[in-house]
Amino acid sequence: AAQHGFTSLGTTAKLLEDVAAGSVDVVLALGWASRESAAELAALGKVPVISFTSNEGALPSVASVVVPVAVHAETSGTFTNRR
């Protein structure tokens, strides 16, 4: 059910179907992991895709805009194996 213009999360296959049908205006992808390859996600090229990611992957490779984000281990003030 749509609420404030958003719908609940479904499968990637359903998203690709909705993009092809013209019922999606933009995709906001959080993360890089996807079962689908970049070739399978190519249909997302019909709409702007914004990807917030810390790694390379299929989703960022098809994105219109990629926003790099740091993982928890890359934050300021973090020490590992400090003696």
Average pLDDT per consecutive 10 residues, the chain (83 residues; last block may be shorter): 64 92 92 87 94 91 92 66 59
Instruction: Answer yes or no: are the C-beta atoms of 16 and 24 closer than 8 Å.
Output: no
Stated pTM of the model: 0.73
CA distance 80 to 83: 9
Which segments of 1-83 does DSSP mark as H helices, in order? Answer: 12-21, 58-61
Predicted pLDDT at 70: 80
Q: Are 27 and 10 in contact (CB under 8 A)?
A: no
What is the chain's length?
83
